[in-house]
Structure 1
Amino acid sequence: MAAVTVRNLSDLTHEALKRRAARHGRSTEAEIRQILEDAIRPAEGMGTALARIGQRLGGSGLKLPRRTTKVSPAEFE
């Protein structure tokens, strides 16, 4: 795992981080990790984002019939 050092952090910011960590019941270091993870992780996955966009645009209107036949596995011979 990588390690990061943050220099010249103001006392005010450091104290605010400690208070925030205490509110969430974790160490200051764990709180900083969570803040960084939240900042770079997408809020939703690609499939969810595409479905949301499709719904907002009215969807495709495509009605697919329910499959009534058994699906056979692929043959590779």
Structure 2
Amino acid sequence: MANFEKLYKKVALQVIERCHGGIRIKKHGRIIQVYDPKRHMWSDGLVGLVIKEECKLANLRDWEIANVRRYIIEELLSKPDD
């Protein structure tokens, strides 16, 4: 079980790194938003696509996306606001 947790955390960190700091949490961890440079706005749906793509690259199943999302939220909440 610990191996899966390490994999989920690794994929979560890849998602955060891929967003180049343009990722934030709203509504106390319920909504993750990514900055879309093409539209110059924060997008709720774009982060789901990024998570799904990174999970496919890591050969994870569809139901494991929720686990990766949880680790993304934990990582973003643990970072101090700048």
TM-score, normalization: structure 1? 0.30
TM-score, normalization: structure 2? 0.29
Q: Which has the higher strand share?
A: 2
User: With CA pairs under 8 Å and 6+ residues apart, which has the higher RCO, 1 or 2?
Assistant: 2
Q: Which has the higher helix share?
A: 2
Whose radius of gyration is greater, 1 or 2?
Answer: 1
